[in-house]
Chains A and B, each alone.
Chain A
């Protein structure tokens, strides 16, 4: 081996070994566990069941419901983060230099711990003392603070818990989009203006196509994150009432910790892992690559 190759290998080795031991090996362990009937408290006592855990995962209604909820939650959160974040970025771009203070405030939630955001929104939404409903009464949208039960209405709760997510990450979308907007060459928009394109057409035919890579990044990063969400919802409802805000990651956690069913939790976790990687790869190919052609 050349000295150069030895150097490369030597520099790479510590990180590679570490990731091997703490990422690759656990993933193998996860897949291995998923093929057994095995309890969390006694992982040494196990019985081979083949793909039974997977069959179970794919046919259990509670798991399917939690998967559907994860999709609802992610789509809802992503749509509003995108809408608000992009609009905010356009506004900041429109007022250009004067947007400094605005952007500073928007940077505020960027690093706020998710459980703080979750607690905060639970406090804003919770029955009796949640101030949001009093605000809605004050502006005449509802008549009584008890009219909307954000966190205890089983049909509503999966969307209510997404408010915290939207609040927390709209700033990420806004600031990344703003950076993208300022990178669009001014002459390009000016040229379109001279050609007689109105503001809407300029936005649709110049700004939006130029923003494609940024949009791709936001959709991939935020989409994957939203689908993985655990802490934010856990702190607000612990999945309740009656599992109606239990997303997929929480369902796996519950089966592993509360029901101690390591085998079946591992099967779902394996499926989750591959679906996430597949989705990210797909989004990458579809949006990112075509933007670079």
Chain B
């Protein structure tokens, strides 16, 4: 009897501990949301209050109407979409032959992609600056897309390689029996089977570009600034403009959080994959 009670108490304690952990984990972001909804004057009140005393969209209006942020969001979106498309076009065929036609060359290639993931962005950013400058692509959308794609391709390669591993070799052979060329088999038979793997890889490439900061800081100055750069400028240029800054941070991060929550199972799977492979 006491044994059962002890077990119940133990269970209840574990449940309580898990709840406390999760709540305290969510708290910082909830506070960010709450702060963004305060009237700008209340944001920096001393002492700070967790909940807004009155709700106002002043901060959101400030960043969405009166600033360069919408333009920066457009830039972020364009760069992320183009990066996703370009990295998939490059990585899909390469990942396919690297897993299905294993030979020395493809192994070396995948190894190179793996090593590339360890390269610090700042190490590549320094010469990329020089390269883009000589190509006349500094502070342009295509320039930033090239830079982001250089990190997205290795990531996509490793993710896609993991997905391609699961495709039986016979699939291509069956298609070729039916008269397809190797490339037709790849395009018409293999790619449709890979749909979900491609979707997850696309998502990861998109978010990697959407979240990227250092290349954007180094390689853009006026025209092609992305959202994180403009938000960071609130930090320095306007000193303590915390109200608009929290609103900008919410607008910038909410889409990504929504995607994460909607697709969390696939994302966690992809992360584990990427982690194991990379």
On chain B, the residues within 8 Å of A30 by CB distance are 123-124, 126-127
Q: Mark B266-278, 1 if CB is under 8 A from A, else 0.
A: 0110011001101
CA distance A101 to B26 in the complex (A): 12
Q: Is A200 an interface residue (CB 8 A)?
A: no
Do B94 and A102 touch across chains, with their CB atoms under 8 A apart? no
On chain B, the residues within 8 Å of A26 by CB distance are 124, 127-128, 131
Interface centre among A15, A122, A217 (most CB of B within 10 A): A15
Q: Mark B202-230, 1 if CB is under 8 A from A, else 0.
A: 00000100110110001000000000100
Do B22 and A110 touch across chains, with their CB atoms under 8 A apart? no
The 7 A-B pairs at the shortest CB distance, nearest first, are namely A15-B94, A26-B127, A231-B213, A11-B93, A22-B150, A269-B123, A29-B127
- Give the contact stretch, choosing among A57-65, A148-156, A187-195, A270-278: A270-278
On chain B, the residues within 8 Å of A45 by CB distance are none
CA distance A29 to B129 in the complex (A): 11
Nearest Cβ on chain B to A59's Cβ, whole angstroms: 20
CA distance A24 to B23 in the complex (A): 45
On chain A, the residues within 8 Å of B275 by CB distance are 176, 217-218, 221
Interface centre among A9, A22, A30 (most CB of B within 10 A): A22
Task: Give A contacts to B, CB under 8 Å.
Answer: 3-4, 7-12, 14-16, 18-19, 22-23, 25-27, 29-30, 33, 40, 43, 87-88, 91-92, 94-95, 98-99, 101-116, 119-124, 128-131, 134, 145, 167, 170-172, 175-176, 179, 213, 217-218, 221, 224, 227-228, 230-231, 234-235, 238, 249, 252-253, 256-257, 262, 265-266, 269-270, 272-273, 276-277, 280
Sample 10 A-B pairs with CB under 8 A, ordered by A number. Answer: A12-B98, A33-B130, A94-B14, A95-B15, A113-B213, A120-B28, A172-B271, A217-B276, A230-B121, A249-B214
- Give the contact stretch, choosing among B55-63, B191-199, B255-263: B255-263
On chain A, the residues within 8 Å of B257 by CB distance are 108, 111-112
Mostly helix, strand, loop or mixed at chain B's interface? helix
Do A113 and B126 touch across chains, with their CB atoms under 8 A apart? no
On chain B, the residues within 8 Å of A4 by CB distance are 101, 182
CA distance A237 to B45 in the complex (A): 22
CA distance A116 to B232 in the complex (A): 9
From B44, B218, B231, A119 is in contact (CB under 8 Å) with B231
Do A253 and B211 touch across chains, with their CB atoms under 8 A apart? no
Do B126 and A273 touch across chains, with their CB atoms under 8 A apart? no
Do B91 and A230 touch across chains, with their CB atoms under 8 A apart? no
Do B252 and A113 touch across chains, with their CB atoms under 8 A apart? yes
Do A272 and B103 touch across chains, with their CB atoms under 8 A apart? no
Do B29 and A120 touch across chains, with their CB atoms under 8 A apart? yes
